[in-house]
Structure 1
């Protein structure tokens, strides 16, 4: 059924569900994994050193995951197969190896759990829990136990290191972009007929037109049986190498990797997102300023069905803005994308580059197959190769993403806040080093706040009839003062009422206290700082505390309700007349 309740269209009559489990020539079980591109990879379970019933059970569990809806790439099934072989070898080493899954004991599960690494446990335990025989009982309880993940060893770059990575990527990509733009202008001049026919520049323009339409220059087979660029183009272009010919309009694998590094450094995307990035769509209405806003679709397959897609909007405000990099990426790949769209409509990939060896078989079946001489995205191997050529060591994508997400952006990117904190922020040594200063500053601030004079009197909505009114508050126990007088009662100034636990402040006191707050502020502007601090600072800070509790709006309204009697009372209080 479709989402609206209509019956879905049936597949063609010759359609058949692929066989995920089959047998080899010797009768052993083989599981086939079809990835999202329809490529198949086979796993021979007869190779596992366990009894045939155990092989059959493990094959059934493995096959249940070998669908594009569950395991969409071969990389996942290959990893799971490595862990499964490790599990099978562990079972085979036991004194009495179990013949099937129902022979697994809690002790055996605990022993295996302590001997394998975290990922092996997570992958195989999840697979085993899908078997009905291991969904209840003591062995099932052991399989359900959580295990603390290993700490990531990947650390962020220093500011200088990430700067070097950015600089190297920017230098290579901008050089390629400038080359493509310059040749695009030459091609446009040729198409406009402004270049003298028959000249060298005219032949170059003709060759660029062929490259823009087909991706290659015409070739012939020489006397040695090798394909060679036709002489007129070879002479005009100054050679037949890629640098002299097709690189004039297309990115190389290395330049595409440099673009991927810049996208990582700008947006904090990981390599899997960059690798499959679709062509961003510019808003049809660019506004009065003419700045394009791009709608970018991102794919994160590991989130699972229904949660793997999200979108971003970025605007090209000019040089240095995030959207400018998108504009440049579109410009650098425009000729390659046009040929790919003509040859394979709907491919819709942003990062397209031309191979120096078109037609070479692609070893990784998880990647989008090449279209003619053009390949897509940035493979992890390309990142490592680019880094080595730039003298930067290993691939910059994991360390770079950690640096951008944890230290530059300081917010999640295609992952949850929990993952951001647990996997990116807390394990990072650079974040930890920066946190020392923040924690110390927080401790000092807390200590300073503890030493700050604050309001002690209770704040209430209504007065209590049993309380005694004073100049600044009501008192619930005048005879039990923290500052008793020699003759009994309270010997403190009325300014100390707000520092007394016996005091009660309600809305009726707010107007005169707001007026007192203003009066103390006025005194601050005319008295020497030391004198004001000695006589009036504590009272002013208590009133500041009260104002924060009451709120700015009610405090302002209370100030508007000050009466002449309030003003006279505060005047007498400040001049000391009430202390006599």
Structure 2
């Protein structure tokens, strides 16, 4: 169905989806979501040709659902590991029908002990399960064998580690924001005609206008072919911060911004490659704050659920939305220039390339947007690596910063509740250490409750005529109740009789109380935990304590003696129809 509810039209009768498998049966072409094609040659696998062709067919069938070259490369590299393993066997299989249970057991044993190995096993296993040769039998059973889930290799930061990373990013980004803000004010004043043309500010404003329109300050090409910065004395030098850095972020400064955004919102690194510039949402009667609508891509969520919108409000310096406001300010000139060079371009994370021609030529990543003029978009893995080395952090911070924000926030971010618990919370060592005291406190509280919820009365062998009968026990003196009623006497629920020191239980009560315990246990399966705990848990604990005092055998025999009167009274008691 289309968005408007109309049934989608069928393709022409002669329409055929082009197969990714080449005519030679050995090459597979994968087209990513941006339209780039990449070819994978299975003749490079170090196995016999029939096996190469079989693996190529399986790979081609699975690639029909892929929109990412990184996914394709990952699967290809893991297939290469499998093919290399087969080639090292004494008898390399000619085709898939030569892959035996013994071979798969040996393959499993080699990889199951490491995180990377488990990833390789998982990918190859899913691929081989599609093979018609493995439609049943012992080999199929071996492929279906489960293996322990891999423990995440990345852990959240300790407090001091996180502070060090965030402080490094804050210092670098704030310096860039102040620099660009100062030059933007000067450029606006020049464009508004507020600066004298021959003044230093006027001449600098003219240079900034050229920079905003072209992405660089005026330069002259020397006879040697080297570019020379004009107005060097006016600019104060020929370095990045004195020239194009006055209005544009460098790639390292953009990476610092991404670290801060990840720390604030737990966004995935890949989100930054194609994140549109946030828009402002409607604000009813609100003049002191701005609410941004940020489109977040969640590609692993599956088709139809790739994008979601987060509303983030800037209501002051300490609010989450203030970082969004600053990000829009420092990238404004880059986004304006990109939109002029390629109309329709409006990506938030834009930086200026150091050497535009050289770096654009080196751009090989078909998953990320291609550079536009002197501008690039998003954060590459080598940007993250360069940034961490520049700040001596011992590893890219993005995964660990994201994990830290997710685990300490207590709420799922761009993933499901089950993923949040299984992947982020439960395996995290910092969460495990912090939760030990919580578990200990809970255990002590449970023990206190269990000790408090015990039978508080007396056991007797026969009824006393002087005692007053109740539904659950005989009462020695209701005027001395721990729960007196305003009008006098006892105001407690009949269930609380078992907690009272005035209660006496004799064998005539045992059948009814044993039946009551049984019914409470049955009731537990149909109530939510909160309701059960508040209403019935203490009463069941007292009954269990009473059972232990009487003895399990006698208690079981008493249950067998419960009659219709006992069942009727227990039913009314649980419904709350019996008043004390």
Check whether the contact 1:355–1:374 (CA below 8 A) recurs between aligned residues: yes
Match of 2:104 among 98, 105, 109: 109
Secondary structure of the corresponding residue to residue 146 of structure 1 = coil
What is the Cα deviation at residue 177 of structure 1?
0.9
CA distance in 2: counterparts of 1:111 and 1:388, whole angstroms = 40
1:482 alignment partner in structure 2:
none
1:410 alignment partner in structure 2:
410
CA distance in 1: counterparts of 2:78 and 2:287, whole angstroms = 56
What is the Cα deviation at residue 33 of structure 1?
2.2
Match of 2:354 among 356, 359, 378: 356
1:523-573 CA-partner distances (Å, limit 9, x unpaired): xxxxxxxxxxxxx9989xxxxxxx9649xxxxxxxxxxxxxxxxxxxxxxx
How many residue pairs match? The answer is 487
CA distance in 2: counterparts of 1:58 and 1:137, whole angstroms = 20
What is the Cα deviation at residue 432 of structure 1?
1.4
Secondary structure of the corresponding residue to residue 264 of structure 2 = helix
- Taking the TM superposition and a 5 Å limit, the aligned residue runs for 1:214-293 are 214-229=214-229, 231=230, 233-285=231-283, 287-293=285-291
- Taking the TM superposition and a 5 Å limit, the aligned residue runs for 1:22-101 are 22=22, 29-67=26-64, 70-101=65-96
CA distance in 2: counterparts of 1:64 and 1:496, whole angstroms = 81
Check whether the contact 2:274–2:368 (CA below 8 A) recurs between aligned residues: no
- Taking the TM superposition and a 5 Å limit, the aligned residue runs for 1:119-518 are 119-229=119-229, 231=230, 233-285=231-283, 287-359=285-357, 360=359, 361=361, 362-406=363-407, 408-452=408-452, 474=470, 478=474, 492-494=476-478
CA distance in 2: counterparts of 1:513 and 1:270, whole angstroms = 65
CA distance in 2: counterparts of 1:246 and 1:90, whole angstroms = 52
CA distance in 2: counterparts of 1:226 and 1:376, whole angstroms = 27
Distance 1:52 1:452, change over 3 A: same
Distance 1:443 1:44, change over 3 A: same
CA distance in 2: counterparts of 1:516 and 1:143, whole angstroms = 63
CA distance in 2: counterparts of 1:63 and 1:250, whole angstroms = 43
Check whether the contact 1:166–1:261 (CA below 8 A) recurs between aligned residues: yes
Distance 1:435 1:222, change over 3 A: same
1:243-275 CA-partner distances (Å, limit 9, x unpaired): 211111111111101110111111122212234
CA distance in 2: counterparts of 1:222 and 1:8, whole angstroms = 62
1:311-339 CA-partner distances (Å, limit 9, x unpaired): 21111110111111111111111110111
Report the more deviating stretch, 97-106 or 115-124.
97-106
What is the Cα deviation at residue 470 of structure 1?
7.1
What is the Cα deviation at residue 44 of structure 1?
1.8
**Unmatched 5+ stretches in structure 2:** 112-116, 458-462, 494-498, 503-532, 537-580
Secondary structure of the corresponding residue to residue 313 of structure 1 = strand
1:52-82 CA-partner distances (Å, limit 9, x unpaired): 1211111112123435xx3222222222111
2:514 alignment partner in structure 1:
none
Secondary structure of the corresponding residue to residue 22 of structure 1 = coil
1:392-441 CA-partner distances (Å, limit 9, x unpaired): 221111111111111x2022211222222222122222111111111111
Distance 1:399 1:307, change over 3 A: same
Indicate the RMSD between aligned Cα atoms, in angstroms. Answer: 3.4
What is the Cα deviation at residue 155 of structure 1?
1.8
**Unmatched 5+ stretches in structure 1:** 458-465, 479-489, 500-504, 518-535, 540-546, 551-580
CA distance in 1: counterparts of 2:268 and 2:452, whole angstroms = 47
What is the Cα deviation at residue 147 of structure 1?
1.8
What is the Cα deviation at residue 453 of structure 1?
5.2
CA distance in 2: counterparts of 1:514 and 1:337, whole angstroms = 77
1:153-191 CA-partner distances (Å, limit 9, x unpaired): 222211111112111111111111111111111001101
Distance 1:311 1:538, change over 3 A: farther
What is the Cα deviation at residue 299 of structure 1?
0.7
Secondary structure of the corresponding residue to residue 419 of structure 2 = helix
Normalised to the residue count of structure 2, the TM-score between the two structures is 0.76
